[in-house]
Structure 1
Amino acid sequence: MPKPVFAQPDPAGPAIGLTGVTVHVRRVPLIEDVDWRVEYGQHWVVLGRNGAGKTTMMSVAAAQRFPSAGTAVVLGRRMGRVDLRDLRTHIGLVSPKQRLPDEENHIAHTVVLTGHSGSVLPLWERYDQPLRDRATKLLELVGCAELADRPVRVCSQGERARVRLARALLADPLLLILDEPFAGLDMPSREDLLEALHTLARAQPELATVTVTHHLEEIPATTTHALLLRKGKVLTACPAERTVTSEQLSTCFERALDVHRINGRWTAHARV
């Protein structure tokens, strides 16, 4: 195999392109024969039961893990032929599980600044005034301007979630992956984060986003497409109005469900 080379994203290619992708551990498949294509400007949601393979699939899509078989293209570049570290600088990741700077000792503005290099410690010598100004504007974009000088340790979980979003956007990514970003949030905090995602979709129309969640109420109204994953295999991947339906979700979750959409938002309950 040729040595991976430095490469910038190719805007002519897909944001994510998986063809026949399989990942197995000790011969046990975690995902199998996955085909999935995400274009720039699309907003996807990924749904599936616990253990369906969502985290594994996202690790490939985020250029953090090579597939065991198949072809994976991220930001227009085929994995295995380019240095993945280059691609990762153009991918934003938001997850309550990710390691962030010591929130006990830093204000929100500082936490956002560390998104420049993805470090867990501030690298002050790299933060020029334009970058500091961008961090301020991103906090405004996600509705957290008043938190800039507030220690993150006194911020609510919902406020921290929006600070994580601003941090992921600092490097001006082409692809944003939100892995269960609503975990642990109460309803007002969930709605605040959803509003931040709505604002982001309007402000950056070329950005591709993928949101992984378990609950239909957490699907942003700006969602254009949906992928259902069942037992490591793609059940369907197409426009959301054809995917997030009672029939499709009942098959995916192996439970009879009634799905409704009101004012662009989805909800579901078990069929009586």
Structure 2
Amino acid sequence: MVNVLDFSDVSYVRNGAAILDGVSWRVTSDERWAILGPNGAGKTTLMKIATGHDYPTSGTVHVLGERLGGVNVFDLRTRLGFASSAQARRIPGNETVRNVVLTAAYSVEGRWNEQYDELDTRQADRILAEWDLLGLAEQAFATLSDGERKRVLIARAVMTDPELLLLDEPTANLDLGARERLIQLLSGFASSPSSPGMVLVTHHVEEIPPGFTHLMLLKEGRIVAAGPIEETLTAEALAETFGIEVDLQRANGRFAAVAR
């Protein structure tokens, strides 16, 4: 398998504070990573760098084999899939669900004068069906529930068959039903051998979908632990990361942590 993301001794400093501090981390195309850590751990900064929206203060980053600082990031981003809650604010509210997904082919957020062929439409409808959205294809984005919007943004992120998929807190602020449905869909996608390498940021072990293979625990810009999830996700590592003693449970491929 090929490396799709490679951080080598990466630090990111702003206003004299180290947001990331000496991060070395590698993702291959067959790995599905969850990144877990408290607020302020550096998770968002890590994702901004991984998507080419920011650059490290020191160290080197390779994304899909290309070194940040030595590649046109606009070209690079066409090979990435990215979904975050912030994107929802940039989507025109009257845009249909089908068009939100379809416009990913041109990397625009809102239908304008671009032209799409039948192949594009079939691809969009196939992906809408995979993410349980085809029945909402003609509905306006603004009328959707939070859970439906999150699924639309992920469907948009995979529209172009990306080589790396990055998801920033995809289940945040969802009710139980919407969260569980999305985790179920993410688990199915992650378990497919045809899916790209994946990185998912979350605050909660309960939101790690089955099928994710690796875990990074991040605290104050430093890696507490990183590796295969069965070895890395322990009560001791969670205590070090979050500063609270927990009992860790696992059932049916899902995790749960409860304070002692």
Paired with 2:126 and 2:6, the residues of 1 have a C-alpha distance of 32
Matched, 1:201 2:190: yes
Matched, 1:25 2:14: yes
- What residue in structure 2 maps to residue 101 of structure 1? 91
28, 31, 54: which one pairs with 1:39? 28
RMSD: 1.4
> Shift in Å at residue 101 of structure 1?
2.1
Cα distance between partner residues in 1 of 2:114 and 2:84: 27
The answer (yes or no) to whether the contact 2:95–2:110 under 8 Å persists in 1 is no
Residue identity matched to 2:25: W
Structure 1 runs (4+) greater than 6 angstroms displaced: none
For this pair of structures, how many residues does the alignment match? 259
CA contact (8 A) 1:259 1:268 kept: yes
SS of equivalent residue, structure 2 residue 114: helix
- Deviation string for 1:185-208 (max 9, x for gaps)? 101101111122123224453401
Contact in 2 for aligned 1:162/1:196 (Cα 8 Å): no
Alignment of 1:77 with 2:66, yes or no, is yes
CA distance in 2, matches of 1:209, 1:31: 21
Q: TM-score, normalized by length of structure 1?
A: 0.91
- The whole-number CA distance in structure 2 between the counterparts of 1:153 and 1:186 is 18
> d(CA) in 2 for partners of 1:76 and 1:102?
34
* 213, 219, 231: which one aligns with 1:224: 213
Secondary structure, counterpart of 2:95 in structure 1: coil
Distance apart, 1:131 and its partner CA:
0.6
Secondary structure, in 3 states, of the residue corresponding to 2:91?
Answer: coil
The structure-2 alpha-carbon separation of the partners of 1:210 and 1:147, relative to structure 1 and needing over 3 Å to count, comes to: same
Instruction: Quote the Cα distance in structure 1 between the aligned partners of 2:113 and 2:257.
Output: 47
Partner letter of residue 214 of structure 2? H
Shift of 1:26: 2.4
Match 1:249 to one of 215, 223, 238:
238
Provide the residue aligned with 2:78 in structure 1: 89
| Residue number among 134, 139, 145 corresponding to 2:123 in the alignment | 134
Q: Indicate whether 1:185 and 2:174 are aligned.
A: yes
* 42-51 vs 195-204, greater mean Cα deviation: 195-204
Counting aligned pairs with the same residue, the percent is 39
Q: Partner amino acid for 2:43?
A: K
Distance 1:174 1:49 in 2: 28
User: Aligned ranges for residues 142-181 of structure 1 at < 5 Å?
Assistant: 142-181=131-170
Paired residues for 1:30-69 under 5 Å: 30-69=19-58
Q: Deviations over 1:86-109 (max 9, x none)?
A: 111111111111243212x12110
